Amino acid sequence: MTLNPIISILGRRLRLAVIGGGPGSFIGAMHRQAARLDDRYELVAGVLSSNPERAKKAGLEIGLAPDRAYTNVLEMLHAEKARDDGADVIAIMTPNDSHYQYAVAALENGFDVICDKPMTNTLEEAEALHQKVTESGLVFCLTHNYSGYPMVRQAKEMVMDNQLGTIRLVQVEYVQGARADENDPDPAKGEVSWRFDPQKSGPSLVMGEIGCHAHHLLRFITGLEVAQVSGEIGNIVPGRLVHDFAGALLRLNNGARGNYWVTQAAAGVENCLRIRVSATKGSLEWMQEFPQTLTFKPFQSPSQTRTINGPGTMPLSARSSRIVAGHPEGFHEGFANIYSDAAEAIVARKAGVKADPLALYFPTSLDGLLGVRFAHSLIESGQADGKWMDC
Amino acid sequence: MTLNPIISILGRRLRLAVIGGGPGSFIGAMHRQAARLDDRYELVAGVLSSNPERAKKAGLEIGLAPDRAYTNVLEMLHAEKARDDGADVIAIMTPNDSHYQYAVAALENGFDVICDKPMTNTLEEAEALHQKVTESGLVFCLTHNYSGYPMVRQAKEMVMDNQLGTIRLVQVEYVQGARADENDPDPAKGEVSWRFDPQKSGPSLVMGEIGCHAHHLLRFITGLEVAQVSGEIGNIVPGRLVHDFAGALLRLNNGARGNYWVTQAAAGVENCLRIRVSATKGSLEWMQEFPQTLTFKPFQSPSQTRTINGPGTMPLSARSSRIVAGHPEGFHEGFANIYSDAAEAIVARKAGVKADPLALYFPTSLDGLLGVRFAHSLIESGQADGKWMDC
Amino acid sequence: MTLNPIISILGRRLRLAVIGGGPGSFIGAMHRQAARLDDRYELVAGVLSSNPERAKKAGLEIGLAPDRAYTNVLEMLHAEKARDDGADVIAIMTPNDSHYQYAVAALENGFDVICDKPMTNTLEEAEALHQKVTESGLVFCLTHNYSGYPMVRQAKEMVMDNQLGTIRLVQVEYVQGARADENDPDPAKGEVSWRFDPQKSGPSLVMGEIGCHAHHLLRFITGLEVAQVSGEIGNIVPGRLVHDFAGALLRLNNGARGNYWVTQAAAGVENCLRIRVSATKGSLEWMQEFPQTLTFKPFQSPSQTRTINGPGTMPLSARSSRIVAGHPEGFHEGFANIYSDAAEAIVARKAGVKADPLALYFPTSLDGLLGVRFAHSLIESGQADGKWMDC
Amino acid sequence: MTLNPIISILGRRLRLAVIGGGPGSFIGAMHRQAARLDDRYELVAGVLSSNPERAKKAGLEIGLAPDRAYTNVLEMLHAEKARDDGADVIAIMTPNDSHYQYAVAALENGFDVICDKPMTNTLEEAEALHQKVTESGLVFCLTHNYSGYPMVRQAKEMVMDNQLGTIRLVQVEYVQGARADENDPDPAKGEVSWRFDPQKSGPSLVMGEIGCHAHHLLRFITGLEVAQVSGEIGNIVPGRLVHDFAGALLRLNNGARGNYWVTQAAAGVENCLRIRVSATKGSLEWMQEFPQTLTFKPFQSPSQTRTINGPGTMPLSARSSRIVAGHPEGFHEGFANIYSDAAEAIVARKAGVKADPLALYFPTSLDGLLGVRFAHSLIESGQADGKWMDC
């Protein structure tokens, strides 16, 4: 491969504008680092805060030119559209309730879009946005970044390559302690207060923050869809207005069964996103806190610990790593893979060339829609005494 | 403590007679090793097989006196009852469908009983046996041996000592690959064929073999009861007449929520019994394949790896170990703890003294009854489209 | 195999008498449990303490007949020799400085011997004892119990089977915190005070307690001998009269190189005996704190985690386990393997039959002699500014 | 902190020029990614290969302007020095034998320097370069990138904060399989052939490639210096002209003892850089393959697993991470920390302000000199039959 496929094709880096991600935003810094790592984007513009003053100040601090440190989203979209050297891509990393409006506005102004998850707060918005994306022909990339980890991609490839056989059982969980504090149920407190406000965070905080990741990870690795769900969702920390746990049993579209468990109220646990897939030829296990390894337990053979770029690495996984075996890659690199793949798709669209097929595994608006729909069905099942609901 | 509390009190070891456990029985050898390890029992009699010839031969091979290598259970019970030096205790390690009849016969003949799990195949038998035990005043010990591991007991003590605070969420799973073979669903094959015959193994192979262990482990560590269950159970390996997986959501009697996942069809997985308990002050994690450690993740403090007899060891856990820290104990030692504790209870009953309260955590007929009832409710929920069922 | 090969051949269990192991002795209880686990020995006699009163009391407490709870070693040896039902085997678990005299006395009275390590305190004693054993034709088993772990034996078999190829590099370490306390250098303190007294514990506490185990483990797994050593040994805790650490570089007899590191002064570490063997076809890693697994990293293939009785288990390893895969065995089982193997060798000698060749991997007086000689050479090298010394 | 301290102070990013790192160079891509991640550098110029044609082509492919994709190092230095918008910093990632000449030339032309390790091939060069750096007053940063990992820095801070007490024993190892192939000793083969040529790779391949990292890691974490070394170094793969293993015992300048073991010939091992530090209050353990955790085993308290930004994180460690706990950072982030710290030092020098003291832990020419000197002394000891040599 050439050293920088974007420069090779386009003669320059993609120009990126961001919405959100101002001071104190973990995810904003992450998006920008992810965009930077592989040198496929040049950050040229942004509205870093909904507060105009903070937006301007933060834009300058990250090095935007004064006239491109915008204070209003629509203004930015129009101005960048009008420039010869205007942004190519809009990346959205705002609170959940504004994803829909900004994404629609960006698409309507002809921009490719990279959007943080959950795609939208409501099923109606999700369906409308997915339709808008489909009609536009533009690239829409949803940052389910965990699907960017090399060993997650290795797992997907082993399944696709039939090294696992027929999938029978899947267990996926996302267990966190981020919202375990008894004294932290109050929507009026703290910098992250929008998360505890159901108007802003959506009908289900736990699904929007982490549950949608677990759902996507299961679908990404197995290539299966969730046909039906029976579950329960709610708040286990007393007094909270938002969901902090969900449990569900799943029926997948090939007849396999699944178990789903997500919570942000597990005191002391950090960020335990974990999946296990059992199939006729063996089982796979992966966990996000040690993403550099993938355990493969073949039927009647010794358990294997696969590593990034280690023996047995398959093409998509190899392409998703920058190291030689034994040098761990982490969260940033997985996130950057999503950005870099989206860049290839965007450049291919712009240049009218065919993208590397291995670049096309990043999550899309369809993934976003299915994620929102799954949360919806799970909530319905909980309200219906555990009745199995279609997804 | 004295070197051997049984000898100190009784002046001799307890005399043990066994039913089952002949050649090729993993669990039979385990019961005998467990009885031997702490020198609290002397094996004096047995019917090692339902086949009289094999029973006699095997009895002699393990060193039974010729007249006490019996070939018939009732004959043994009557003969041992009649001897001055007759057995004190009967240990039952036969296929599931005979536990009830042998246990009842032993109790009716005045013997204390140690019985393998599941206690019985049906709820009716479980209720009847529990009542029989209660009326008899005899000791009945059910070998849910996993509750004998020192670190499981440490977990229980930390909960009892309020080091965890209020329990909110529990995840328990027992994942195995023992029945993952596509070619092994046939009840007519092989030495373990009784297991694939629902008449012998009971209504639910997976619940009888491993599901009841997971249920007991959850109750043992948390001290909570399962109030309601919503789940699904069935066979994922095609053509099988018995269950090989079950999934469930749980509501515990303090309002905590639980997730339950058991299967024997996870190809390549060995014996992954695993539990996580999240409470207001932190989370505990334990897994059977590495039983020598217990992970404690206190809220807002570094994660701790507790070890057998390591710093912070509590009394029941300390009592349940024979080593200095860093020397792992395994499956045998946990199993032996159940046997040794039962011995103390039996000797105390016989001698009319008070047993060490720390000896009284072994599983009983009530645990057996609740285990059978849970399986029953889980099956009912599965038949009722996931409806929540009382346990 | 028959259920109990000792009973099958001898018609009874071996009769065991013990020297040492009274109240408070971890290792004494361990020896007795190890002897019991596989039902190959009957404990018939003992001198449990050098204090006659304590010896008698402890003997009765573990269930010895009053006339066989001896108070004097020579008295016991003579009395047991004289009985028709006298002991067959003498097991020695006293402080290091008495191993030699008791072992010689036992051998001279015609008893097979099981002896704790280190074999002796001095090189002269070690040479004399080894010669005595050789001349006697009796069985002498030295309890380097770590070589009894199933996965250690699996490692040895993989080497013997040439699955590793030519060994190039070995790293072995035994790191403990047992003697890390700054306030515990004083020979005059505490119950274990004999250990801090060079007269009793020998010239090198760290070599006698743990260093000899590390040396034996290396030789056992690799099948190689240490040809030369360059090292340093001493005390790192100030004021101590005994050694608490040693480091060395090794030249093995096939040209491979080794690294050796042992200490009891690593505060907070429990019992980290660990070995890594690198050869042309791959590397093996094993550590005692998680003895149930063995890591095999084949050259240019994925790393494997081998488990007790898991896929790829070889004959000696399989024979050294009592479980089905996934059920961990620990310290007791490894120790019991040494006892059970010695039993087979002893019975074969007595019965004039050939022992199962797989029973003959227990450590002998030659291993004891080489262990003492290695310590001697290491000390010499330290005194000679790191000069390489023959072993 | 402001979003980008370089922009805040300098009003722009630092301008970086690179020497080396063309197509196929793992380390070259890594340097550029490390420079990019935190947006403190703008890559403006480079000589990417010693082959002028390849240098030009690669320079263009990574997006350099045609006139700054240089083909000759001195030409670049002079041209960039002459430009108003010329490079501020020169980063060197060429084969070892050219580090000295390029670093000297860069310094002489007034550039701050970032240089890959080992600093030089000979002790004479190392001393001369260190003196040149000292006299110049310029920043010289040596990319011992492993000291950039957040948990390595956490370890250093815990030592500095006296949480460990007095250090007694250190074990450090760097075990790889990269050069384990029997068929790969030949200096004439393959793309990396310069490594097997002692003229280019220096007197000791293993020390230059990995041994110097292990030495620096020990010094970085402990804050101690190696006073004396006794060791052996050589080739274990037959026929090789370069070293592929080294073992040594160490005496540190506070009286502590150390063990050192490095090799590239451990077939199947990936990149196991690992350190353990034992002190009066406990022991630390870290390994590069799982850099996201640090194990702290306090004396007589439960073992702790520390994580990036987890509870107990200290200031330097916190500053060295970009995530919230539970999201692993890997090799790139550690490398980027070195680059970002150097940037702060360089900007402070240029702007005449005081750098954040926490930015000043990156390795310098003194570290480089001590690394080369250590290798020299180790080789000498090996040639002198293990004699202890001053370092």
Helix H segments across chain D? 5-10, 26-37, 52-61, 73-82, 99-108, 123-136, 150-160, 198-201, 205-206, 212-222, 315-319, 331-351, 365-383
Report d(CA B111, CA B113) in Å as an integer: 6
Report d(CA D201, CA D193) in Å as an integer: 10
Question: Is A361 a residue whose pLDDT tops 70?
Answer: yes
Question: Is A387 a residue whose pLDDT tops 50?
Answer: yes
Q: For residue A158, what is the enclosing H or E element?
A: helix A150-160
CB count, 10 Å around CB of A383? 12
A264-298 residues labelled b (16+ CB within 10 A) or e (exposed)? bbbbbbbbbbbbbbbbbbbbbbbbbbbbbbbbbbb
> How many Cβ pairs within 8 Å bridge chains A and C?
34
Select from C3, C14, C36, C43 the residue whose CB has the most chain B CBs within 10 Å, as the one to mutate to test that interface.
Answer: C3
Out of C300, C301, C305, whose CB is closest to A303? C305
User: Is the residue at C88 inside a domain?
Assistant: yes
Which residues, 6+ apart, have CB-to-CB distance to A134 below 8 Å? Answer: A365
Question: Is B207 a residue whose pLDDT tops 80?
Answer: yes
Mean pLDDT along residues A265-286? 98
Chain C CB within 8 Å of residue D228 CB? no
Write the ipTM: 0.96
Question: Is A171 a residue whose pLDDT tops 90?
Answer: yes
CB-based contact D266 C169, cutoff 8 Å: yes
Residues 11-30 of A with CB under 8 A from B: none
Q: For residue B335, what is the enclosing H or E element?
A: helix B331-351
Q: For residue A185, name the pLDDT band (cuts at 50, 70, 90).
A: low
Tokens read off for D28: 């070259």
User: Is the residue at B338 inside a domain?
Assistant: no
CB-based contact B304 D307, cutoff 8 Å: no
Q: Please report how the helices B123-136 and B365-383 are oriented relative to each other, as an axis angle in degrees rounded to 10.
A: 160
CATH label of the domain that carries residue D218: 3.30.360.10
Q: What are the pLDDT digits (tens) for D168-180?
A: 999 999 999 989 9
Within this chain, do residues C140 and C159 fall inside the same structural domain, yes or no? no
Question: Is C189 a residue whose pLDDT tops 80?
Answer: no
User: What is the CB-side half-sphere exposure of residue B169 using CA atoms within 13 A?
Assistant: 32
Residue A370 Cα to chain centre, angstroms: 13
Within this chain, do residues C101 and C195 fall inside the same structural domain, yes or no? no
Within this chain, do residues C244 and C310 fall inside the same structural domain, yes or no? yes
Q: What are the pLDDT digits (tens) for A55-71?
A: 999 999 999 999 999 99
Q: What are the pLDDT digits (tens) for C79-118?
A: 999 999 999 999 999 999 999 999 999 999 999 999 999 9
Quote the pLDDT of residue C196. 77
Average pLDDT value over all residues in chain D: 95
Tokens read off for D325: 């706990």
User: Is the residue at B340 inside a domain?
Assistant: no
**Taking a C-beta distance cutoff of 8 angstroms, is the pair B32, B42 a contact?**
no
User: Which chain D residues are Cβ-neighbours of A327 within 8 angstroms?
Assistant: 271, 288, 330-331
Q: How many Å lie between the alpha carbon of A146 and the closest alpha carbon of chain D?
A: 10
**Tell me, what DSSP letter sits at residue A122?**
S
Tokens read off for D192: 């990396």
Q: How many Å lie between the alpha carbon of D208 and the closest alpha carbon of chain C?
A: 20
Hey, what amino acid is at D219? Answer: R
Hey, what amino acid is at B332? Answer: H
Q: How many Å lie between the alpha carbon of A160 and the closest alpha carbon of chain B?
A: 18
Share of chain B above pLDDT 90, in %: 91
Quote the pLDDT of residue A192. 54
Share of chain D above pLDDT 90, in %: 91
Q: For residue D241, name the pLDDT band (cuts at 50, 70, 90).
A: confident
C-alpha pair distances (Å), C182 with each of B312, C260, D279: 21, 24, 11
Dihedral over Cα of C329, C334, C335, C340: its sign: positive
User: Which chain B residues are Cβ-neighbours of A165 within 8 angstroms?
Assistant: 267
User: Is the residue at D261 inside a domain?
Assistant: yes
Report d(CA C26, CA A205) in Å as an integer: 54
**Tell me, what DSSP letter sits at residue B174?**
E
Question: Is D150 a residue whose pLDDT tops 50?
Answer: yes
Q: What are the pLDDT digits (tens) for D76-99?
A: 999 999 999 999 999 999 999 999
Within this chain, do residues A131 and A184 fall inside the same structural domain, yes or no? no
Average pLDDT value over all residues in chain B: 95
**Tell me, what DSSP letter sits at residue A2?**
-
Mean pLDDT along residues B175-180? 93
Q: What are the pLDDT digits (tens) for A125-154?
A: 999 999 999 999 999 999 999 999 999 999
C179-203 residues labelled b (16+ CB within 10 A) or e (exposed)? bbebeebebeeeeeeebbbbebbbb
Report d(CA A361, CA A338) in Å as an integer: 8
Beta strand C293-298 with C257-263 is: unpaired
Q: Which of A329, A286, C289, C307 is nearest to D271 (CA)?
A: A329
Within this chain, do residues A189 and A106 fall inside the same structural domain, yes or no? no
Mean pLDDT along residues D15-32? 94
Closest residue on chain C to D285 (Cα) = C269
Question: Is B3 a residue whose pLDDT tops 90?
Answer: no
Quote the pLDDT of residue D187. 47
Report d(CA B173, CA C195) in Å as an integer: 46
Question: Is B236 a residue whose pLDDT tops 80?
Answer: yes
Domains of chain B: total: 2
CB-based contact B296 D312, cutoff 8 Å: no
Length of chain C: 391
Question: Is A189 a residue whose pLDDT tops 80?
Answer: no
Within this chain, do residues D255 and D372 fall inside the same structural domain, yes or no? yes
Question: Is A193 a residue whose pLDDT tops 90?
Answer: no
Q: Which of D273, D230, A283, B72 is nearest to C326 (CA)?
A: A283
Q: What are the pLDDT digits (tens) for A221-271?
A: 999 999 999 999 999 999 888 999 999 999 999 999 999 999 999 999 999
Quote the pLDDT of residue C241. 86
Tokens read off for C20: 């040492």
Its pTM surpasses 0.95 = yes
Chain position carrying tokens 């279609």:
A390
The sheet that has C41-47: what strands, in order across it? C41-47, C14-20, C89-93, C112-115, C140-142
**Tell me, what DSSP letter sits at residue C358?**
G
Hey, what amino acid is at D157? Answer: E
Q: Which of B302, B329, B325, B349 is nearest to B138 (CA)?
A: B349
Report d(CA D167, CA D256) in Å as an integer: 6
Question: Is C150 a residue whose pLDDT tops 50?
Answer: yes
**Taking a C-beta distance cutoff of 8 angstroms, is the pair C9, C351 a contact?**
yes
Largest CA distance in chain D: 64
DSSP string, B24-65: T-HHHHHHHHHHHHTT-EEEEEEE--SSHHHHHHHHHHTT--
Residues facing residue A107 across a β-bridge: none
Which residues, 6+ apart, have CB-to-CB distance to B108 below 8 Å? Answer: B132
Report d(CA D141, CA C316) in Å as an integer: 55
**Taking a C-beta distance cutoff of 8 angstroms, is the pair A381, A229 a contact?**
yes
Select from C8, C9, C57, C270 the residue whose CB has the most chain B CBs within 10 Å, as the one to mutate to test that interface.
Answer: C270
CB-based contact D292 A288, cutoff 8 Å: no
CB-based contact C247 D257, cutoff 8 Å: yes
CATH label of the domain that carries residue C58: 3.40.50.720
User: Which chain B residues are Cβ-neighbours of D296 within 8 angstroms?
Assistant: 302
User: Is the residue at B308 inside a domain?
Assistant: yes
Mean pLDDT along residues D11-36? 95
Beta strand C303-307 with C389-390 is: unpaired
CB-based contact A305 C301, cutoff 8 Å: no
**Taking a C-beta distance cutoff of 8 angstroms, is the pair D374, D123 a contact?**
no
D203-214 residues labelled b (16+ CB within 10 A) or e (exposed)? bbbbbbbbbbbb
Tokens read off for C133: 């054993």
User: Is the residue at B10 inside a domain?
Assistant: yes
DSSP string, B236-274: -STT-SS--EEEEEEEETTS-EEEEEEES--TT--EEEE
Within this chain, do residues B172 and B260 fall inside the same structural domain, yes or no? yes
Quote the pLDDT of residue D185. 59
Quote the pLDDT of residue D188. 52
Within this chain, do residues C137 and C243 fall inside the same structural domain, yes or no? no
Q: For residue B196, name the pLDDT band (cuts at 50, 70, 90).
A: confident
Average pLDDT value over all residues in chain A: 95
Q: What are the pLDDT digits (tens) for D298-340?
A: 999 999 999 999 999 999 999 999 999 999 999 999 999 999 9
User: Is the residue at D218 inside a domain?
Assistant: yes
Quote the pLDDT of residue B253. 98
Which residues, 6+ apart, have CB-to-CB distance to C52 below 8 Å? Answer: C71, C72
Chain position carrying tokens 């020095």:
D81
User: Is the residue at D121 inside a domain?
Assistant: yes
Report d(CA A16, CA A48) in Å as an integer: 13
Neighbours of chain D (3+ CB pairs under 8 A): A, B, C
CB-based contact B36 C32, cutoff 8 Å: no
Instruction: Tell me which residue range forms the domain holding A219.
Output: 149-324+367-383
Question: Is C2 a residue whose pLDDT tops 80?
Answer: no
Question: Is A190 a residue whose pLDDT tops 70?
Answer: no
Q: Higher confidence at residue C24 or residue C207?
A: C207
Within this chain, do residues B195 and B313 fall inside the same structural domain, yes or no? yes
Quote the pLDDT of residue A188. 53
Residue D355 Cα to chain centre, angstroms: 21
Q: How many Å lie between the alpha carbon of D124 and the closest alpha carbon of chain A?
A: 32
Within this chain, do residues B55 and B75 fall inside the same structural domain, yes or no? yes
Which residues, 6+ apart, have CB-to-CB distance to A84 below 8 Å? Answer: none
Q: What are the pLDDT digits (tens) for D113-127?
A: 999 999 999 999 999
Residues 250-309 of D with CB under 8 A from A: 269-272, 288-292, 307
Report d(CA A271, CA A291) in Å as an integer: 11
CB-based contact A301 C307, cutoff 8 Å: no
Q: Which of D255, D229, D170 is nearest to C386 (CA)?
A: D229
Quote the pLDDT of residue B187. 47
Within this chain, do residues B112 and B182 fall inside the same structural domain, yes or no? no
CB count, 10 Å around CB of C123? 15
Select from B14, B308, B331 the residue whose CB has the most chain C CBs within 10 Å, as the one to mutate to test that interface.
Answer: B331
Out of D263, D303, D386, whose CB is closest to C387? D386
Hey, what amino acid is at A101? Answer: Q
Within this chain, do residues C119 and C78 fall inside the same structural domain, yes or no? yes
Which residues, 6+ apart, have CB-to-CB distance to A315 below 8 Å? Answer: A157, A358
Q: Higher confidence at residue B336 or residue A199?
A: B336
